[in-house]
C-alpha cells in the first residue's frame, strides 16, 4: 500500500503523519519520506453512532493504527468486533460520498 506518505525528521527521528512544516518534537525542518507498510496493529478506536448526513451506516468505527514500521494513522476500521492490538491490513477506498463524488480515505480490515 503506497497511498500515504509519512515523514521522518532528519534531526531527531520522529515519524509523523500527516506532514507538518516543523517537527513536533525538535522543530526540525528537514524530513525523509517514509511509505508505511501494509500491515499494522490497532492502538485505539472509537465507535461513532451519530454520523453526519450522507453516511448510510448506523455506526462507524474509527481507529488509530500503528504500521509495522512505526507510522501511525487514523482510518475507518472494518471489523465487526474490534480489539486493541488486533492485526489489520490497510486499504485506500471510498469512505464517503459528498455531492455525488466519492471521498477516499484509509480503511483497515483484519488480516486473515
Give me the CATH number covering residue 59.
Answer: 2.40.50.840
Rg (CA), the chain: 15
71 in any annotated domain: yes
Q: Is 107 exposed, middle or buried (0-12, 13-18, 19+ CB in 10 A)?
A: middle
Q: Rounded to the nearest 5 degrees, what angle is found at the Cα of 58, between the Cα atoms of 83 and 49? A: 65
The answer to whether residue 43 is domain-embedded is yes
The label of the residue with cell 480503511 reads: 107
pLDDT over threshold 60, residue 1: no
Its pTM stands at: 0.81
Q: Is the peptide bond before 84 cis (omega within 30 degrees of 0)?
A: no
Residue 1 lies in a domain: no
- What domain range is 106 assigned to? 6-110
Domain membership flag for residue 80? yes
Q: Does any domain span residue 25?
A: yes
pLDDT in tens, 27-75: 999 999 998 888 999 999 999 998 887 677 789 999 999 998 888 999 9
Count of the separate structural domains present in the chain? 1
Amino acid at each position: 500500500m503506497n497511498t500515504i506518505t509519512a515523514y521522518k525528521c532528519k534531526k531527531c527521528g520522529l515519524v509523523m503523519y500527516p506532514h507538518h512544516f516543523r517537527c513536533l518534537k525538535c522543530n526540525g525542518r528537514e524530513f525523509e519520506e517514509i511509505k508505511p507498510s501494509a500491515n499494522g496493529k490497532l492502538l485505539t478506536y472509537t465507535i461513532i453512532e451519530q454520523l453526519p448526513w450522507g453516511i448510510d451506516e448506523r455506526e462507524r468505527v474509527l481507529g488509530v493504527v500503528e504500521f509495522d514500521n512505526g507510522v501511525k494513522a487514523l482510518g475507518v476500521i472494518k471489523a465487526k468486533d474490534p480489539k486493541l492490538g488486533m492485526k489489520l491490513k490497510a486499504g485506500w477506498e471510498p469512505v464517503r460520498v459528498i455531492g455525488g463524488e466519492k471521498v477516499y480515505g484509509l480503511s483497515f480490515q483484519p488480516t486473515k
